[in-house]
Amino acid sequence: MRPAHPTEQAVGMASYVSETDGVGGHLRERDDHFRVRELERFSIEPVDATPDAYPHLVLRATLAGWDTNDFASRLSDALGVSRERVSWAGTKDKYAVTTQLFSIYGAEPDELPDVNGAELEVLGRAGRSLEFGDLAGNAFELVVSEPEAPENAEAITDELVAFGGVEEGSKIGVPNFFGQQRFGSRRPITHEVGLELVRGDFEGAVLAYLGNPTDAEPESTQEARTFVEETRDWREALERFPNRLRYERSMLHELAEADEVAEETFRDALERLPSNLQRLFVHAAQSYAFNLILSERLERGLPFDRPVEGDVVCFADTDAPDGLELPDTDREQRVTDRRVRSVTRHCERGRAFVTAPLVGTETELGEGEPGEIERAVLDELELVPEDFDLPGEFHSTGTRRAILVRTGIELDSDPLTLSFSLPKGSYATVVMREYLKVDPVRLS
């Protein structure tokens, strides 16, 4: 196997599965070089349906240069309604052209504002708001700028088709790693914060977030992070941290205002952060362990496209859009020696998927060699499932996740453009890293 970029290795992605040299280049030179369209499954009634029964107006928005949260705030401000009335199924990046659904409780079509950088299409009404579960996946159209060896794309595709293991057709397959952005593209530390939390060390978690200077940051920021690591002088650190680091400053305020800094104070400092960021820390720790499990499975030469004895598989979501392989981790089965052959046939046809754990309090680990890998990674991290029994937003029961993601892919050469679809929760950059083989910053 070909070793991955060192920054990727630091978050558990040890290698590439394709040996061919990458095409090089970078993504997102322009917003329209990174196009994302949601693949949704949501029941919509005609726009003239009675608002009493269907109070949510549903619209499709194509956004350029808009973060999903910011656009939702812009809509609610223009309509003069609470931000809580605006819902969506998936959060999208600002530096892209994205097409996705929004629902707005109590809105009428003629009330919608004109928004710069947004095209709005009213689709109808719904009896409930959009939720995360309504997103099945995303379709991507990505342009590679300044590739150095675009001719290598075909050979990489052939290798990824072989890894995907489909008997018929030409679907590529890649390990379903969590991409670099899960951990921070320029400062990958969220998993380090999460690991300290899961180990019960709130002080260590705070210092992992406030400290850990990286070369990607301005020198003054690096110096401020080094200062707080070395001195624990919270008041002076507050003077040194720039105003733009509002989360760090919020934590420092909590510490600087305390009469006595104790373990509870460090927890209070962390709980000053938005609840979604608090959850992200623990999720990133789970994601890091998951990536390590996949890397070890690759190292041992175990298959990704079919099970071995001891694996846990899940089955396909039968309501998925045509052509999209969507795992349903609520439907699981352990693979015994007697069932390896029959489950393999389901995997070959896209009806079942081998999984690995996102470890939490209710996680049941695999058996055989897959279970051995899972336990070895947890031992290395000094974790057990019970460690995730944490207070508040930090608690996690865990789940499982498919270890392989497969998709059909189209290549266009002028400019080099890759088009493909992925199930929700899978990362386009995990596909693109196999093609470009560059510093992950150039993928973000």
pLDDT of res. 388: 95
| Banded pLDDT at 423 (limits 50, 70, 90) | very high
334 is written with which tokens?
């352990």
E strands, 12-144, in order: 15-16, 34-40, 56-64, 86-88, 97-105, 118-126, 135-143
Q: What is the CATH number of domain 33-137?
A: 3.30.70.3160
* Predicted confidence (pLDDT) per residue in 72-114, tens digit: 999 999 999 999 999 999 888 889 999 999 999 999 999 999 9
pLDDT of res. 385: 95
pLDDT of res. 1: 84
| Nearest CA-CA partner of 311 in 368, 379, 357 | 368
| Every domain of the chain and the residues it spans | 2-13+22-27+144-176+406-443, 33-137, 190-273, 281-402
Q: Which fold, 281-402?
A: Pseudouridine synthase (3.30.2350)
H or E element in which residue 146 lies:
none
pLDDT of res. 400: 97
Question: Mean pLDDT score of the chain, rounded to an integer?
Answer: 94
Segment 283-298 shows an average pLDDT of 98
Identical topology for domains 190-273 and 281-402: no
Segment 240-264 shows an average pLDDT of 94
| Nearest CA-CA partner of 232 in 255, 249, 250 | 255
Q: What is the CATH number of domain 190-273?
A: 1.10.1510.30
pLDDT surpassing 70 at residue 167: no
pLDDT of res. 170: 81
Residues annotated as catalytic are 93
74 alpha carbon, distance to own chain's centre: 25
